[in-house]
Structure 1
Amino acid sequence: MTPEEAIAALLQARAADATICPSEAARLMAGAGGDWRTRMDDVHEASGRLVDAGDVVLSWKGRPLARPEGPYRIGRSR
């Protein structure tokens, strides 16, 4: 599963206005008992690509972010 597929699957399973933590996508990619931390760079890179494509938005504590840096949440673009 690619990071983009993991992000899309998690967002699709949530309410339209819900967000996900990047670590949730990494955990989904790693599978049960897998080392999800090694997947985080891939998820951060994919988040940036998805923002550039207009597919997702990033935020932290309700404030929009332009790039995946520091703590952030991933949501559907409206």
Structure 2
Amino acid sequence: MDIDAEIISLLRERAPDASICPSDVARALATGEHAWRALMQPVRDAAANMARKSLIVITQGERHIDPGEVDRGPIRLRRGPSFPRH
């Protein structure tokens, strides 16, 4: 299971300025509510690592948040400055 690849894939399916929810990623990788809910923390952790590399940006509302803050409240994932073009 490659969480980073799934984040990139889902973001590529959307408009360049669109965002995804971490639960979109978890649901794409797991079947059943219990299974995808169990993936939420690994998805948040992967998102934080990707944000540290500028592949994605993590937001709460319109505010960009530090990758270390992904455990607090709802977040969205957006393409970052180093998002792969292909």
Q: Which residue does 2:29 correspond to in 1?
A: 29
CA positional deviation for 1:17 = 0.1
Q: Which residue does 2:60 correspond to in 1?
A: 60
Partner letter of residue 39 of structure 1?
Answer: L
Whole-angstrom CA distance in 2 between matches of 1:9 and 1:30: 15
Normalising to structure 2: TM-score of the pair? 0.82
Task: Indicate the SS of the match to 2:16.
Answer: coil
Gaps of 5+ in 2: 82-86
Whole-angstrom CA distance in 2 between matches of 1:3 and 1:52: 15
Q: Which residue does 1:74 correspond to in 2?
A: 77
1:46 and 2:46 aligned: yes
CA positional deviation for 1:22 = 0.3
Write out the 4+ residue segments of structure 1 that deviate beyond 4 Å after TM superposition.
none
CA positional deviation for 1:6 = 1.1
- The percent of aligned pairs where both chains have the same amino acid is 35
Kindly report the root-mean-square deviation, in angstroms, between the aligned alpha carbons of the 2 structures: 1.3
Gaps of 5+ in 1: none
Query: Aligned pair count?
Result: 77
CA positional deviation for 1:59 = 0.5
CA positional deviation for 1:7 = 0.5
